[in-house]
Amino acid sequence: MLLKLTTSTRYVLLVLLLVLGIHSILSFTHEDYGRATSLSQTAAKLSWGSNDALDSIPDEYFYHELEPTPYNVTRRANATMLMLARNSDLDGAMRSVRELEDRFNRRCRYPWVFLNDEEFSDYNVVSGPVLFGLVPREHWVQPDWIDEDRARESRDKMVENNIIYVMCRFNSGFFYRHPLLQQYKWSWQVEPDVHFHCDIEFDPFAYMEDNDKIYGFTITMYEYEATIPTLWETIKFTRLHPEYVSPNNAMGYLSDNNGNTYNLCPCKPALWSNFEIASMDLWRGEAYSKYFDFLDSKGGFNYERWGDAPVHSIAAALFARKDQIQFFDEIGYEHNPYTHCPRGPGKWARGRCACDAGRSFDYDGYSSMRQWDRVQ
């Protein structure tokens, strides 16, 4: 028997069916969301392991206002943000500056120093003072005393082996001598095309100053052997000048046999200095200046491809006490393809991070973080 339905009855039934359908969809979605959240939390716990207990920056150093303005900050260190950039780096440089301003410097308004080998345009995304400087030509180009035939042969060989040649002599030994940097005690080296994935809700300069730290990093990795085949031979400098070596140094990070060789050859570990917060006194000191002059006399910046990362790393590990070197777990940082994301759900949430902890490079096979951990 067919049931005749009035127009109003059919309308009521249609509404009921729609409500039931929406309820089913929402229930299904909620279950999926709950399941996905649970899986993601489990994966996060597996990635972070027990490192959530690692909270190297005390709570007193964090800003507690929801949105602190630069005028809420009553203390600033004698520090600067530093970038060496060429005109061809302009787009990537602007992105790096904008991210670090948004994530950190909008609060503190530390000045920026930009160095280039030629004139370039002003940046309009910086909240604090800006200084532009030219790199002296003699610090930028190959020295006259280098054997150009030997250097060219080395460069050609690197091209054959698909090794990008970049001369890092300026960043290794001359940047801290630039007149614009003489007024500062601290510098934060920033490179074009890097990313900052978390709000930095404390002042790294203030923390380092208060706690006798002189060198800070976020990523540590193995150097490419083909770029520095003879660099470790220059460790003989420390044998010629044992007075410069700290008794409580981090040689155990660099070597398994008290300096006879780098550990895990053919790879070479380095604190990756495209992120580097450091006391300028480390570079200006007699130990580092003589160490760089010794390296420079060997020609490895031209005959090989000695980078500022291993050069700085060796110096920091040997001339400073190991407790003066700071791993900034709290700072989410990326230099493609490597990313550091803070370890521990508390830190990740506290810093309002946009990185994926599961992709963090810290204990990747090419990371030398385990070597760093063992000297702590």
| Annotation: CATH topology of 76-374 | Spore Coat Polysaccharide Biosynthesis Protein SpsA; Chain A (3.90.550)
In this prediction, residue 100 has a pLDDT band, given cuts at 50, 70 and 90, of very high
Asked if the model's pLDDT at residue 9 lies above 80, the reply is: no
Predicted local distance difference test score (pLDDT) of residue 312: 93
- Dihedral over Cα of 101, 103, 108, 110: its sign: negative
- Going by DSSP bridges, is the β-strand pair 333-335/338-340 parallel, antiparallel, or unpaired? antiparallel
In this prediction, residue 232 has a pLDDT band, given cuts at 50, 70 and 90, of confident
Ranking 15-29, 195-209, 219-233 by mean pLDDT, the lowest is: 15-29
Work out the average pLDDT over 39-63: 52
Work out the average pLDDT over 202-215: 96
d(CA 350, CA 273) in angstroms, rounded, equals: 25
Please give the residue that has the higher pLDDT: either 122 or 154: 154
Identity of the highest mean pLDDT range in 5-14, 63-72, 106-115, 336-345: 106-115
369: alpha, beta or left, given left = phi > 0 and alpha = psi -120 to 50?
Answer: alpha
Helix (H/G/I), strand (E/B), else coil: 202: strand
Radius of gyration for the chain, computed over Cα atoms and rounded to the nearest angstrom: 26
341, 219 contact by CB (below 8 A): no
d(CA 37, CA 368) in angstroms, rounded, equals: 31
Predicted local distance difference test score (pLDDT) of residue 317: 92
- Give helix 286-298 / helix 308-319 axis angle, nearest 10°: 140
Direct distance between the N- and C-terminal alpha carbons of the chain, in angstroms, rounded to an integer: 85
Taking only the tens place, the pLDDT of each residue in 33-43 is: 333 333 333 33
156, 202 contact by CB (below 8 A): no
Asked if the model's pLDDT at residue 277 lies above 80, the reply is: yes
Q: Any idea which residue has 């009553």 for tokens?
A: 74
**276 in active site:** yes
The answer, yes or no, to whether the previous bond of 247 is cis (omega within 30 of 0) is no
Predicted local distance difference test score (pLDDT) of residue 374: 85
Predicted local distance difference test score (pLDDT) of residue 376: 80
Please give the residue that has the higher pLDDT: either 70 or 39: 70
Mean pLDDT of the chain: 80
Asked if the model's pLDDT at residue 94 lies above 50, the reply is: yes
Predicted local distance difference test score (pLDDT) of residue 301: 94
Q: Any idea which residue has 């193995």 for tokens?
A: 222
Helix (H/G/I), strand (E/B), else coil: 10: helix
Active-site residue among 101, 276, 304, 334? 276
Taking only the tens place, the pLDDT of each residue in 278-297 is: 999 999 999 999 999 999 99
Work out the average pLDDT over 231-241: 87
Asked if the model's pLDDT at residue 170 lies above 60, the reply is: yes
Predicted local distance difference test score (pLDDT) of residue 369: 87
What number of residues does the chain have? 376
Ranking 48-62, 121-135, 252-266, 331-345 by mean pLDDT, the lowest is: 48-62
Asked if the model's pLDDT at residue 32 lies above 60, the reply is: no
Work out the average pLDDT over 170-178: 94
d(CA 196, CA 335) in angstroms, rounded, equals: 9
d(CA 293, CA 338) in angstroms, rounded, equals: 31
